[in-house]
Amino acid sequence: MKKSQVGIVGAGFIGRQHIEAVRRIPNIEVVAISEYNKEAARKIADEFGIEHAYDDVDEMIADLQLDVIHNCTPSNMHYEVNKKVLNAGIHLYCEKPLTLTSAESEELVELVKEKGLKAAVNFNYRHNAMVEEMKERIQHKTIGDVWYLAVEYLQDWLLKETDFDWRVETEYGGYTRAIADIGSHCFDTIQYMLDEKIAAVRAKRYILHSMRKNNEGVDVTVENEDSALVQVRFASGVEGIVRVSQVSAGKKNDFNLIVEGTQQALEWHQEKPDRLWIGNRDVGNTEIFADAKYLSGRAKEKINLPNGHAVGWADAFTNGIHSFYQSIVNSDAHVDYTDFEQAHHIMKIIDACVESDETGNWVEV
């Protein structure tokens, strides 16, 4: 079988994770990297044993016959790079968020349809085995009817005013940060679990540090939020709360989900990804581990190791990319990745959160 030829645009932390994940999938080969300058690109390419290195996406596209490009650039570059890739007739796997605005994401949805290509956005948490198990139990009403859910995604990497990253500047990170960066993961995951869309939101955004010191010690005004509290209402009427923060001391990558049903509750902690807590009223609570014999439906397919060999972040990351490549080679393959239409709806949720923060009202998506 001919190997799919893959190019990576942007090889920072997340780009390197894409390279590692792609290499875990059979018959896929990363043949090129594009970075901000040729020297940096060549250094990274040599480190990973990748043949071609570029500092220009257009040149990479023109020189090589690529099957797929992974867009791992900063958020402000997503729209431009995505458009170039799609116009070149190349399948596309993009980092989140899809774009900076819903107007841009809507245009890309139409372009994907026009070109007849496969395009996905990397919302990896839905691909964790225990999230899939939660989805199975919700769909089969094992927990009864869902009546409420609560989500927290807490980090502390921007707690200090001297903590700085390109995401802090609206020019690069966008007009919303915590909501777009980690809130988008929350929105995608809970929509996937419940198999329905968020229809309305009421949001409040918070800025802990209105001024931050950049890497040169210069004061920079901060206009996008450090944290947010978002009430969500689904199309069915089910409501919940989403809290996101990048300034919560001691929290590293603390993504927690609680789904409350009329018979049972489910709770999952991303930092303990191979365990699922099941809450009961009349009998003892239970905790199951990520082993195929304990799981049901499609969740079983995401277990490759026996009980006690924890499946985690990198495994979920790879699962999503694997699903995407399967859909390219097999039109009948089960698709569970976030396509551009779903990612566009998340962009509309983000826009609605910003509008709600400004007005103080519920805003329909």
4 confidence band (pLDDT: 50, 70, 90) = very high
Residue 306 has pLDDT above 70, yes or no: no
313 confidence band (pLDDT: 50, 70, 90) = confident
Q: Of the CATH numbers 3.20.20.70, 3.30.360.10, 3.10.310.30, 3.30.1330.10, which one belongs to the domain with range 125-307+339-364? A: 3.30.360.10
310 confidence band (pLDDT: 50, 70, 90) = low
- Which fold is adopted by the domain 4-121? Rossmann fold (3.40.50)
Instruction: Give the long-range contacts of residues 39-43, CB within 8 A, separation 24 or more.
Output: 40/11, 41/11
357 in Cβ contact with 223 (< 8 Å): no
Residue 217 has pLDDT above 80, yes or no: yes
Residue 335 has pLDDT above 90, yes or no: no
The residue among 12 and 295 whose pLDDT is bigger is: 12
Residue 246 has pLDDT above 90, yes or no: yes
* 239 contacts: CB under 8 Å, gap ≥ 6: 148, 231, 232, 233
Beta strands 146-154 and 338-339: pairing type? unpaired
Chain segment 156-211, per-residue pLDDT in tens: 999 999 999 999 999 999 999 999 999 999 999 999 999 999 999 999 999 999 99
pTM of the model: 0.93
Mean residue pLDDT of the chain comes to: 94
Residue 309 has pLDDT above 60, yes or no: no
Phi/psi of residue 293, each to 5°?
Answer: -70, -15
Q: Where are the domains of the chain?
A: 4-121, 125-307+339-364
SS (H, E, C) 278-333: EECCCCCCEEEECCHHHCCHHHHHHCCCCCCCCCCHHHHHHHHHHHHHHHHHCCCC
> Is 125-307+339-364 the same fold as 4-121?
no
300 confidence band (pLDDT: 50, 70, 90) = low
- How far, in Å, CA of 337 to CA of 201, rounded? 24
Residue 305's pLDDT is what? 60
Residue 11 has pLDDT above 70, yes or no: yes
